[in-house]
Amino acid sequence: MSPMNIDTPRAGTLEVAPEQIIEFPNGLPGFEDCKRYTLLAPEGAGVPRYFILQSLDDAAVAFTIADPALFGFHYEIELSDEETAALELTDPAEAAVVVMLLKEPGSNEVRANLKAPLIINVSARRGIQHVFARLTYQVTLKSPE
C-alpha cells in the first residue's frame, strides 16, 4: 500500500504512510464515519506533552490527546471480549491509554475527558474509545510544604 495525502485545515498537506494509520473499527462516538487516523506531534523542541489525532476520512476532524498521567490520573481498565477483539489485543503491554483534551469555549482552560479514554493497540494500530458507564475517582492535590 502506498502513502496517502490528506489536506488538513491546521497542518496543511500531510503524507501518511500505511504504517502511520491507526484504525478505529467503530469510529468514535459522534464520528462513526471516521475510522482511520494518524498521530501528529506538535511542532517545537523537546518531548511533546500532547498529540493531534488527525482523521484521514474527514480532514476537518482532529482531536488533541495526551497521556492521562500528565493530569495525575492512571487507569485500570477491564476490557470486554468485544473490545479486546476490536483492538486485536493479545498482550496488555501493547495497549496505550490516552485522553482527549477539551478547551472550554471562551476560555484558555483545558480539561481532560477522563470518562472516555482512547485505548490504542500500538502493535496492531487499532483503537477504541472506552466509555465508562460510571467512573469513580478522586483527585488529590498535594499542598506545598
CA 132, CA 66: separation in Å to the nearest integer?
Answer: 18
**Residue 49: Cβ within 10 Å count:** 9
Question: Does residue 114 fall inside a structural domain?
Answer: yes
Question: Does residue 92 fall inside a structural domain?
Answer: yes
CA nearest to 17, candidates 4, 6, 7, 8: 4
Instruction: Tell me: pLDDT of 138 over 70.
Output: no
What CATH number is associated with residue 16? 2.30.290.10
pLDDT tens digit sequence for 121-137:
999 999 999 988 776 55
For position 42, what pLDDT does the model report?
Answer: 82
Q: Cα angle at 97 between 50 and 75, to 5 degrees?
A: 115
Question: Does residue 24 fall inside a structural domain?
Answer: yes
pLDDT tens digit sequence for 83-122:
999 999 999 999 999 999 988 788 888 888 889 999 999 9
**73 or 24, greater pLDDT:** 24
Q: Cα angle at 28 between 26 and 31, to 5 degrees?
A: 105
Question: Does residue 90 fall inside a structural domain?
Answer: yes
pTM (predicted TM-score): 0.85
Question: Does residue 143 fall inside a structural domain?
Answer: no
Question: Does residue 8 fall inside a structural domain?
Answer: yes
Strands 36-40 and 51-55: antiparallel
Q: Look up the domain containing 55 and give its range.
A: 4-129
CA 55, CA 68: separation in Å to the nearest integer?
Answer: 21
Number of domains in the chain: 1
Where residue 37 falls among pLDDT bands split at 50, 70, 90? Answer: very high
DSSP state of 19: G
CA 62, CA 130: separation in Å to the nearest integer?
Answer: 18
**36 or 142, greater pLDDT:** 36
Stretch 37-63: mean pLDDT, rounded?
89
